[in-house]
Amino acid sequence: GAVVSQHPSWVICKSGTSVKIECRSLDFQATTMFWYRQFPKQSLMLMATSNEGSKATYEQGVEKDKFLINHASLTLSTLTVTSAHPEDSSFYICSALGQVGAGARTDTQYFGPGTRLTVL
Amino acid sequence: GESVGLHLPTLSVQEGDNSIINCAYSNSASDYFIWYKQESGKGPQFIIDIRSNMDKRQGQRVTVLLNKTVKHLSLQIAATQPGDSAVYFCAHGSYQLTFGKGTKLSVIP
């Protein structure tokens, strides 16, 4: 139980294009999802917190107009990297917090498998 | 992008030996701690967690120790196996998590 999926698992795009990454909680509902970015040989850095039905909260230094987050349902959050550039190439990982009574622990983040973005 | 010269601390252990991975944290208000395992190209996988009202918790082949006095957390893996090879991260927080730098565990067959 408590499975989180991401799609696509990898994507290569040209500089200047936009890329959408989906994060889904498959067998539980998640009021809150988190988006992380991880560069090679580094730790996970929180980018933003996404709450269903409201605007995302971005960490300091993360451009909200560049990294658009939409959390339209209790099982889906999307991250759109707009006008991507080579420096946006990274491993993007989402996680989801369980909702009370929805089949997953409410104090544990369940992580997706990540999406490798390469911008040429 | 990647910073030149940045590398993860590495721990090499012989198969069958015990592994101890350490983590220091700075926020004395943290009350929830987790260890994650991350294999290459995959997302973090939950291993074990501990709350600040405990100093030890055991799982299957893993033990987490918490020393709040010196703000130190450790993960002990008993009888380390090749499948344990991965990067291990500690994380702390209650709602949002702060991840440590990670330690790469290499198991020598």
| Contact call for A40 and B97, based on CB within 8 A | no
| Contact call for B100 and A39, based on CB within 8 A | no
Average pLDDT over residues B10-21: 96
User: How much is the mean pLDDT over chain B?
Assistant: 90
- pLDDT band of residue B27 (cuts 50, 70, 90) is confident
Write the residue in A4, A89, A114 that is nearest to B42 by C-beta: A114
- pLDDT band of residue A28 (cuts 50, 70, 90) is confident
Distance of CA B41 to the CA centre of its chain: 18
- What is the per-residue pLDDT across B28-79, written as a single tens digit (0 to 9) for each? 888 899 999 999 999 999 999 999 999 999 999 999 999 999 999 999 999 9
- Ordered DSSP codes for A51-75: ETTS--EEPTT--TTTEEEEEEETT
User: How much is the mean pLDDT over chain A?
Assistant: 91
Average pLDDT over residues A96-103: 70
Residue A4 in this model has a pLDDT that exceeds 60: yes
Q: Which of A12, A31, A11 is nearest to A22 (CA)?
A: A11
Q: Nearest residue of B to residue A119 by CA position?
A: B1
From residue B1, how far is each of A40, A81, A91, B11 by CA, in Å?
Answer: 8, 16, 10, 25
| Contact call for A87 and B1, based on CB within 8 A | yes
B contacts of A95 (beta carbons < 8 Å): 43
Strand partners, B67: B72
Q: Nearest residue of A to residue B89 by CA position?
A: A43
Average pLDDT over residues B6-12: 81
| Contact call for B102 and A43, based on CB within 8 A | yes
The alpha carbon of residue A20 is apart from the nearest alpha carbon of chain B, in Å, by: 18
